[in-house]
């Protein structure tokens, strides 16, 4: 890319990653950005997510944190307890702390975060969103940029194409034509019910995971700013791998989902029976857990096509780091691209080297998160002997206290 030419960037996917990436790129001085989304309007899908200090630090820089905080439930600790009547404490997992990490954790509906991101994007010149544009295939990649087509047969070109289009990424197929996400043989079913319905015992803090060797874990997590609603959920092994339509059919089978949530409730404390006593069917979600095999590269050979977020490394939700790591991807990538643009370099080899450093650094973080997931799984899944891990402490400073600006500078040095 010539130093005299301004980088124009196309982002496929107007979900959390794509919207945050546009804001991060704009923050780094890039203002010729178009987001393409296959759906006909802004996404209003999915349940609530948990945001930890590593992501909140990023959202604060992007001016998202303060308005989002007003829509979110704040908490610090995930609690693990046995499923006996006393709900005996087993372990805790710190998900935030204003004192230690600068931020309490937030639990917020996905659509609320998308709405805040949209509001900020509308204030920025140089960012636009086009809906109803479903990516089809990449047609060419040269030193100047890339050209691709949409399913409506229109063709578009840009200096840089970013695939932020999720675990079943179509952009990724250009780099890995035969790669398919791997089903982890695990699913989760969740629902949202009023907090008052649970009659939470005094002293029972949420989020809490009640562990039962026979039926698995039952999760209770308050949400909405005032905590007046709770997510309830269970996860378990599921050996049958379904296609997209199959998962949709299973989600639409509300009686199956209700049975999934209620099965074995009598073997849990009374609070679980209360939780599942009245479940609105329109508040039920089902999540099959997929992983993307570890990729050798997130960047095309020509360096003009990049994938990130779930398109590069779908992470099971055990440690709640999926979306948090996606925000790390987009923020650090935007910092790297902004630094390279500010250097006005024509050196394509340097660009490729820096992007390789970025990916290597990000992959190392993902690997550590997956190790953390494995540790937590020992506490959640049924038929696991947790006696060897009950006294282990989680060291989370590496996860929550990262200095992103320093890391970006080192990659670009």
Instruction: Enter the CATH code of domain 9-57+111-181+292-412.
Output: 3.50.50.60
Contact 49, 326 (CB under 8 A): no
Contact 194, 275 (CB under 8 A): no
Quickly list DSSP for 345-380.
Answer: ---HHHHHHHHHHHHHHHHHHHHHHHHHHHHHHHHH
pTM of the model: 0.93
* Average pLDDT rounded to a whole number, residues 25-40: 95
* Average pLDDT rounded to a whole number, residues 302-320: 90
pLDDT given at position 389: 44
Confidence of residue 392 (pLDDT cuts 50, 70, 90): low
The domain locations on the chain are 9-57+111-181+292-412, 183-290
Q: Of 76-80, 109-113, 183-187, 203-207, where does mean pLDDT reach its minimum?
A: 183-187
- CA 352 – CA 336 distance, rounded (Å): 11
pLDDT given at position 44: 63
SS3 225: coil
Q: Of 88-102, 177-191, 208-222, 370-384, where does mean pLDDT reach its minimum?
A: 370-384
Is 387 exposed, middle or buried (CB count within 10 Å of its CB: 0-12, 13-18, 19+)?
A: exposed
The H or E element containing residue 337 is helix 322-342
Confidence of residue 76 (pLDDT cuts 50, 70, 90): very high
First-last CA distance in the chain? 19
Question: What are 292's two structure tokens?
Answer: 């993307």
pLDDT at 388 over 90: no
- CA 57 – CA 402 distance, rounded (Å): 9
pLDDT given at position 217: 87
DSSP state of 202: T
pLDDT given at position 168: 92
Class of domain 183-290: alpha beta
pLDDT given at position 45: 65
pLDDT given at position 231: 96
Report which of 120, 119, 9, 110 is spatially closest to residue 51, judged by C-alpha positions. 110
pLDDT tens-digit readout, 103-159: 999 999 999 999 999 999 999 999 999 999 999 999 999 989 999 999 999 999 999
Q: Report the chain's mean pLDDT, rounded to a whole number.
A: 91
* Average pLDDT rounded to a whole number, residues 29-41: 93
* Average pLDDT rounded to a whole number, residues 339-348: 78
* Average pLDDT rounded to a whole number, residues 173-191: 93
pLDDT given at position 4: 40
Confidence of residue 290 (pLDDT cuts 50, 70, 90): confident
pLDDT at 1 over 90: no
């Amino acid at each position: 890319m010539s130093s005299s030419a301004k980088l124009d960037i196309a982002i496929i996917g107007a979900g959390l990653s794509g919207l945050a990436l546009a804001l991060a790129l704009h923050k780094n001085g890039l203002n010729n950005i178009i987001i393409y989304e296959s759906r006909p309007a802004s996404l209003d899908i999915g349940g609530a997510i948990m945001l930890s200090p590593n992501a909140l630090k990023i959202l604060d820089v992007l001016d998202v944190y303060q308005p989002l905080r007003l829509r979110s439930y704040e908490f610090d600790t995930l609690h693990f307890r046995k499923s006996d009547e006393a709900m005996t404490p087993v372990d805790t997992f710190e998900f935030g702390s204003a004192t230690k990490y600068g931020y309490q954790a937030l639990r917020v509906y996905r659509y609320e975060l998308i709405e805040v991101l949209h509001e900020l994007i509308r204030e920025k010149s140089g960012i636009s969103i086009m809906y109803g544009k479903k990516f089809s295939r990449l047609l060419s990649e040269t030193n100047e940029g890339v050209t691709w087509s949409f399913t409506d047969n229109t063709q578009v070109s840009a200096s840089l194409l970013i695939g932020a289009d999720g675990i079943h990424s179509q952009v990724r197929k250009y780099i890995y034509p035969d790669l398919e996400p791997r089903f982890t043989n695990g699913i989760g079913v969740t629902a949202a019910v009023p907090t008052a319905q649970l009659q939470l015992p005094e002293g029972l803090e949420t989020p809490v995971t009640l562990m039962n060797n026979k039926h698995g874990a039952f999760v209770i997590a308050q949400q909405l700013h005032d905590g007046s609603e709770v997510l309830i959920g269970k996860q378990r092994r599921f050996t049958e791998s379904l296609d997209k339509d199959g998962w949709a059919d299973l989600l639409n089978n509300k009686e199956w989902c209700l049975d999934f949530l209620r099965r074995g409730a009598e073997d849990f404390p009374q609070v679980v029976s209360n939780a599942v006593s009245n479940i609105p069917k329109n508040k039920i979600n089902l999540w099959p857990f997929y992983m993307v095999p570890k990729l050798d590269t997130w960047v095309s050979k020509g360096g003009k096509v990049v994938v990130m977020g779930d398109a590069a490394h779908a992470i099971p939700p055990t440690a709640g780091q999926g979306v948090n790591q996606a925000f790390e991807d987009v923020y650090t990538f935007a910092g790297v691209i902004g630094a390279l643009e500010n250097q006005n370099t024509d050196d394509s080899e340097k660009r490729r080297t820096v992007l390789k450093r970025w990916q290597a650094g990000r992959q190392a973080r993902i690997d550590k998160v997956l190790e953390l997931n494995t540790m937590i799984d020992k506490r959640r899944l049924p038929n696991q002997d947790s006696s060897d891990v009950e006294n282990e402490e989680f060291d989370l400073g590496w996860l929550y206290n990262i200095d992103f600006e320093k890391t970006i500078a080192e990659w670009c040095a």
